């Protein structure tokens, strides 16, 4: 998962698998936990740029589209 | 050659065109005998003299053409976003003063609904708890990812009972 779009797609797949019963709750919980950490780290980067009033800054995780 | 007509009210001679005269099938050459300026002035005076009738007439028209009213409102809201925001704020304040308990109950219900539906606003409110970040700083992709994360967490809780 190199960017936020991939993370979103992965989470969507996880949710579908969990709803269908193809994935264990424990695994899904760990994945959600990991996603939370990634989202929070992106948020910290956003906060950093907001504090510096650098609103046009490019955050690789949020703005990259590389696969 | 340009046709001219003398207004029957002000007596000024004006060009016979839709810019100066209202269209009328009953009158000669398809235009009325009174110029637009005089007609509008007369209408203004009539409205001032008969406020109740004018109000009733306006209401009748609005009831007959609700889609036009909605379009007009939409246009005004789009052209005056600041005024519209202020108007909403005023209305909310007035409502809060008039029915405080009902207002609070509705607000609570609204918050609950947002929490259940995981709306963008609710997710952003979770993310902007830190005071340096504002809602508009959070990109939509991050909101979507957070929404899926919350959905999974909820589903896991549901499955674990």
Q: Residue A65 — very low, low, confident or very high, per pLDDT cuts 50/70/90?
A: low
pLDDT at A11: 94
The domains of chain A are located at 4-60
Question: Looking up tokens 């029915």, which residue turns up?
Answer: B99
Instruction: Output the CA angle B140-A26-B128, nearest 5 degrees.
Output: 30
CA distances from B32 to B1, B3, B43, B119 (A): 20, 13, 15, 57
User: Which of B43, B17, B15, B14 shows the shortest CA–CA distance to B30?
Assistant: B17
B159 in reach of chain A (CB within 8 A): yes
| B148 contacts chain A (CB < 8 A) | yes
pLDDT band at B105 (very low <50, low <70, confident <90, very high): very high
Q: Could you give the percent of chain A with pLDDT greater than 70?
A: 94
10 Å CB burial of residue A64 (0-12, 13-18, 19+) is middle
- Dihedral sign computed on CA atoms, order A17, A18, A24, A30: positive
Which of B132, B141, B152 faces A51 most closely, judged by CB atoms? B132
pLDDT digits (tens, 9 = 90+) for A39-61: 999 999 988 888 888 877 788 88
Instruction: Give me the interface pTM, i.e. the ipTM.
Output: 0.90
pLDDT digits (tens, 9 = 90+) for B29-81: 899 999 999 999 999 999 999 999 999 999 999 999 999 999 999 999 999 99
Given a contact cutoff of 8 angstroms between Cβ atoms, the answer to whether A10 and B148 are in contact is no
Residues 99-128 of B with CB under 8 A from A: 127
């Amino acid at each position: 998962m190199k960017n936020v779009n991939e993370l979103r797609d992965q989470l969507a797949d996880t949710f579908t698998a969990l709803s269908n019963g193809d994935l264990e709750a424990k695994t899904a919980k760990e994945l959600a936990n990991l996603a939370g950490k990634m989202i929070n780290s992106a948020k910290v980067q956003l906060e950093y740029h907001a504090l510096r009033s650098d609103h046009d800054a490019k955050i690789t995780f949020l703005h990259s589209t590389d696969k | 050659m340009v046709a001219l007509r003398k207004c029957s009210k002000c007596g000024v001679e004006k060009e016979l065109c839709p810019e100066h005269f209202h269209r009328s099938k009953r009158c000669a050459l398809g235009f009325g005998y009174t110029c637009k300026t005089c007609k509008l002035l007369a209408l203004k005076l009539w409205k001032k003299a008969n406020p109740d009738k004018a109000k009733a007439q306006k209401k009748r028209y609005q009831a007959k053409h609700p889609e036009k009213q909605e379009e007009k409102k939409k246009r005004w809201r789009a052209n005056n976003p600041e005024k519209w925001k202020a108007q909403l704020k005023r209305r909310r304040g007035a409502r809060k003063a008039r029915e405080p308990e009902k207002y609070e109950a509705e607000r609570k219900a609204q918050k609950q609904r947002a929490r259940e539906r995981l709306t963008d606003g609710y997710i952003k409110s979770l993310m902007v708890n830190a005071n340096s970040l504002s809602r508009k700083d959070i990109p939509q992709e991050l909101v979507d990812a957070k929404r899926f994360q919350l959905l999974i967490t909820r589903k896991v809780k549901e499955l674990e009972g």
